Structure 1
Amino acid sequence: MKFENILVGNKGRIQYITINRESKLNALNKATLAELHEAFTTAFKDDSVGGIIITGAGTKAFVAGADISEFADLDVQGGADLARTGQSTVFDIIANGNKPVIAAVNGFALGGGLELAMACHIRIAADNAKMGLPEVTLGLIPGYGGTQRLTQLVGRGKALEMIMTADMLTAADALTAGLVNHVVFQDDLLPKAEEIMNKILTRAPLALASAIKAVNDFGTECINGYETEIREFGKCFGTDDFKEGVSAFMEKRKAEFKGR
């Protein structure tokens, strides 16, 4: 697929995915979501990619929301289909990916933009970032997993307050609420994301994938997260990376993991 709305580039084992609609504050339309689906599914299958950093072009917005013009003619079924397709093809793909994904949040992350950031495994915000779910001002609620992921991150009470008031959080308030992991100056945003990702990439890739799966199963209906942890823990013993990790520990050297 030729990308028209996103930029994809590699820096070593880190792949950058940049939403490149700066004049539209990087709003998510159907075409952009389709490109994100293609980019992430390809990255998760590419052995040369260890992890992904996603950000928005410019300094004003990570993603300022969905493209509301595409909502105007939808009925009840159309709205449900829009949410289901977006969740299954982009947001859940990211959340359940087998490689770490860091959101570098620059500027506004509103509506679908905050939902995109929340689908990532780690969030780092520039100090100018502002985050919120303003859907109720349009007579809607979040539809790309926002009600669920926000509740998991900040708790029921804070999630309901944010959703029902439609208020935005500053980067500092988002850090206090547990919505983001770190807040840095704008110029330090991508270097901080790379610093964290490069540290992660020294760890065993198959163990990282198992950790993501086990953590994602926390609180999932009809799934016992403890059983997932036990199963994934056991699987790690069958990997070459486990043997390498133990050998390196015993020999007091740095492990060289191969993802096997």
Structure 2
Amino acid sequence: MKFSYHRVQQKKDFAIVQIDNPPVNALSDEVKEELLTVLESLKKNNKAIILTGTGNKTFVAGADIKELGKLDENSGRKRVFRSKKLFSYIENYPIPIIAAVNAPALGGGFEVVMCCDICIAVKEARFGLPEVGIGVIPGGGGTQRLTNIISPGMAKLLIYTGKVIKADEALQLGIVQKVVEQEDLINEAEKMAVKVTQKAPLAIQYSKIAINEGLSANKEQGFDKEAELFSKLCATKDKNEGVHAFLEKRPPNFKGE
């Protein structure tokens, strides 16, 4: 299937999705809607997705500043709810999404990164939420997701000052999980995807649910959700296959059942 703003490369058990909206891969309304379509089309036949951008100027750009200048309260509300629809979809996507950050990820681009499960970035990447500098706040969940990744105090510092941080600092804060050279980015992301796809897909999916729901619940509710999902997995064919493979000292053959 051919898309207007995205390039899709299908691998054995995962797909690579490149946002391709030059010059800065801006998240226009058309790009948002098409990305939803792209991801929806890939979720049944894949065990992981790599999300990256084309070029080396920007991973993904958020709002077009000229468009932002035209917004009033009503149009602004419509815009952020379109973003919320996409970002929530990415965050709760049933299979892992690995962000391969090829260039600076600021504003909406950083918010996309925070929706993904794992982030690998090039050394040249930069991260930040500069919205207060133009009189607004992050509107795609940045104020909420960043405080689930780093301390509230550090999140406030980054948001209040609009500070842009380097990839190494993002790694230290836990925003990024691995920093690599530009030429190694996709290869390292593919290695990560292969490791994920070798595990039991239902177990990965349920782990994601437990983690995501636990972030918005109290500790006891999180424990209860984890126990519920563990119990369900005990009745799956994959659990039996995993146990037998371990005891027989052979690689498992998971079916997602």
| TM-score normalised by structure 1 residue count | 0.94
Report the counterpart of residue 34 of structure 1 in structure 2.
33
Larger displacement relative to structure 2 (223-232 or 122-131): 223-232
Contact kept? 2:104, 2:125, Cα under 8 Å: yes
Q: Distance in 1 between matches of 2:70 and 2:57?
A: 29
Q: Distance in 1 between matches of 2:67 and 2:222?
A: 38
Which amino acid in 2 is paired with 1:60? K
One-letter code aligned to 2:3: F
Alignment equivalent of 2:131, drawn from 126, 135, 139: 135
| Structure 1 residue 12: Cα displacement | 1.6
Q: CA RMSD in A?
A: 1.5
Return the offset for 1:231. 1.0
Unaligned runs of 5+ in 2: none
- Taking the aligned partners of 2:153 and 2:246, their CA distance within structure 1 comes to 44
The alpha-carbon deviation at position 157 of structure 1 amounts to 0.9
How many residue pairs match? The answer is: 256
1:218 and 1:157 map into 2 onto residues whose CA distance is 21
Q: CA deviation at 1:218?
A: 2.1
The code of the aligned residue for 2:25 comes to N
Report % sequence identity.
Answer: 41
What's the CA shift for 1:68?
2.8
Residue matched to 1:119: 115
CA distance in structure 2 between the partners assigned to 1:258 and 1:68 by the alignment: 47
Match of 1:76 in 2: 73
Moved over 4 A (4+): none
Residue of structure 2 equivalent to 1:220: 216
User: Please, which moves more after superposition, 223-232 or 177-186?
Assistant: 223-232
Partner of 2:162: 166
Distance 1:76 1:177, change over 3 A: same
- Using the alignment, how far apart are the partners of 2:41 and 2:64 within structure 1? 25
Q: Which runs of 5+ in 1 are unaligned?
A: none
AA aligned opposite 2:17: I
Deviation sequence 1:164-209 (CA, Å, 0-9, x none): 1111110011111111000011111111111111011100000000
Q: Which moved more, 1:119-128 or 1:226-235?
A: 226-235
Give the letter for the 2:18 counterpart.
Answer: T
Tell me how far apart the structure 2 counterparts of residues 69 and 209 of structure 1 sit (CA, whole Å).
39
The one-character-per-residue Cα deviations of 1:112-136 (angstroms, maximum 9, x if unpaired) are: 0000011000001100001101111
Tell me the secondary structure at the aligned position of residue 59 of structure 2: strand
Q: Which residue of 1 aligns with 2:3?
A: 3
Q: Is the 8 A contact 1:29 1:70 kept in 2?
A: no
1:245 aligns with 2:242: yes
TM-score, with normalisation over the residues of structure 2?
Answer: 0.95
Instruction: Specify which of 157, 178, 191 is matched with residue 182 of structure 1.
Output: 178
Contact 2:29 2:82 in 1 (8 A): no
Query: Partner residue of 1:255?
Result: 252
Residue 66 of structure 1 contacts residue 113 of structure 1 at CA under 8 Å; is this kept in 2?
Answer: no
- Other structure's SS at 1:212 match: helix
Any idea what SS the aligned residue of 2:186 has? helix
